[in-house]
């Protein structure tokens, strides 16, 4: 006895939509005789006519209408399965290009990428380090698929509207002091207690650095030494030449002769960290997997930081 087949159901759906064997054949790229054979096979399997022939074409019978409803459900599921399998194939053999700002590269992104590579060893990985503005440009140009970017308080609205943001974590900004500094023995300090400190920063203009996160304070930080690289900043801090700020994400990479202290203030002493993709674009399936791993890693690192500050 003939059986229902996906091909036959697709033909049924198209003939019903077009109201004509000839039009359905043209749309599907079949001959009209092939369409007629598929419908005849379906009718034999159903044991009843599915179409009523008229002068203007064909229309479904009651059993035909019933079968069409079932056919739509079955074909939608088959199409979804094909898309899912195609996504899995891409996930298994594709490429993931990631951008991240420097301190996210200290632990967050490498740990998430290690988990990703362990589960998808065939996926090639590209990694681009750079500040947030550079990563946004790379996303827009298509050079990367996803980026981890940092956003200081009050600047989220300045991000290019072509970029879609998914909040990842609020990364606390910690005070880094040398081990001999009086504040090294404290777990936290009020922001106003830092007014007299000498700061080590990447620019002489406080608003151009992370110190600008405290631009609402009643005092202006005095930048004593300018250093661009994190290794230089921490070396100067360790030598007692000033203090600086370190994102919590980079805490695990801080040298042992530098102590980290939480800062208390009326407004959060933190910056937002977000996952950025190009808005309105189809996102490859492996970007979703990588984003899930970023969330998991960020949660683990936040817990590790709590322990580090408490037990130091």
Sign of the CA dihedral with 66 first, then 70, 73, and 74 last: negative
* Whether pLDDT at 148 is above 90: yes
How far is Cα of residue 27 from the mean position of the Cα atoms in its chain? 39
User: What pLDDT sits at residue 204?
Assistant: 78
Q: Of the ranges 52-66, 185-199, 297-311, which one carries the lowest mean pLDDT score?
A: 297-311
Average pLDDT, integer, range 118-144: 90
Residue 90: what pLDDT?
A: 56
Q: Which residues of 69-98 are buried (b: 16+ CB within 10 A; e: fewer)?
A: eebeeeeeeeeeeeeeeeeeeebeebebbb
Let me know how long the chain is: 312
Segment among 112-126, 146-160, 190-204 with least mean pLDDT: 146-160
Q: pTM of whole model > 0.75?
A: no
For the segment 216-262, what is each residue's pLDDT rounded down to a tens digit? 677 788 889 999 888 899 999 999 999 998 888 888 888 999 999 98
Amino acid 207: pLDDT = 60
The full set of domains in the chain, from first to last, is 6-91 (1.10.10.10), 95-311 (3.40.190.290)
Report the C-alpha gap between 129 and 34 in whole angstroms: 57
């Amino acid at each position: 006895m003939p059986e229902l087949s996906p091909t036959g159901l697709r033909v049924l759906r198209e003939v019903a939509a077009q109201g004509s064997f000839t039009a359905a054949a043209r749309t599907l790229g079949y001959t009209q005789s092939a369409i007629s054979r598929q419908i005849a096979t379906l009718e034999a399997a159903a044991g009843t006519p599915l179409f009523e022939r008229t002068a203007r074409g064909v229309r479904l019978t009651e059993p035909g209408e019933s079968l069409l409803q079932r056919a739509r459900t079955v074909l939608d599921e088959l199409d979804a399965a094909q898309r899912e399998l195609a996504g899995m194939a891409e996930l298994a053999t594709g490429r993931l290009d990631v951008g991240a700002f420097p301190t996210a590269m200290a632990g967050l992104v490498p740990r998430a990428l290690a988990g990703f590579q362990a589960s998808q060893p065939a996926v090639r990985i590209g990694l681009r380090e750079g500040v947030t503005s550079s990563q946004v440009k790379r996303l827009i140009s298509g050079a990367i698929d996803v980026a981890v970017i940092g956003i200081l308080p009050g600047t989220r609205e300045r991000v290019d509207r072509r970029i879609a943001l998914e909040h990842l974590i609020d990364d606390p900004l910690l005070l880094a002091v040398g081990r001999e500094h009086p504040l090294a023995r404290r777990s936290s300090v009020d922001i106003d207690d830092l007014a007299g400190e000498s700061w080590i920063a990447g620019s002489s203009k406080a608003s151009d650095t992370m110190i600008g996160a405290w631009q609402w304070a009643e005092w202006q930080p005095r930048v004593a030494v300018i250093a661009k690289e994190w290794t230089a900043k921490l070396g100067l801090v360790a030598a007692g030449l000033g203090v600086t700020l370190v994102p919590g994400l980079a805490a695990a990479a801080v040298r042992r002769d530098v102590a980290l202290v939480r800062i208390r203030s009326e407004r959060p002493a933190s910056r937002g960290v977000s996952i950025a993709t190009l808005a309105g674009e189809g996102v490859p399936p492996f970007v979703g997997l990588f984003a899930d791993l970023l969330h998991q890693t960020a949660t683990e690192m936040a817990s590790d930081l709590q322990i580090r500050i408490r037990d130091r």
